[in-house]
Structure 1
Amino acid sequence: FCKIMYGADRLKQPLLRMNSKGEFDKKGDFAPVSWQRAFDEMEVHIKSALKEKGPEGIGVFASGQYTVMEGYAAQKMMKAGFRSNAFDPNARHCMASAVVGFYQTFGIDEPSGCYDDIELTDTVVSWGSNMAEMHPI
Structure 2
Amino acid sequence: MRENEVEKQFVEAVRAAGGQALKFTSQSMNGVPDRLVLLLGGKCAFVELKAPGKQMRILQRKRRLQLEALGFPVFCVDRPEQIQPAIHALICWKPGEPIPQGIGAKIPELPAVTLPQNTPEQDGKSESEVMPK
Quickly name the TM-score band, shorter chain normalised.
under 0.3
- Higher RCO structure, 1 or 2 (CA under 8 Å, sep 6+): 2
TM-score (norm 1): 0.24
TM-score (norm 2): 0.24
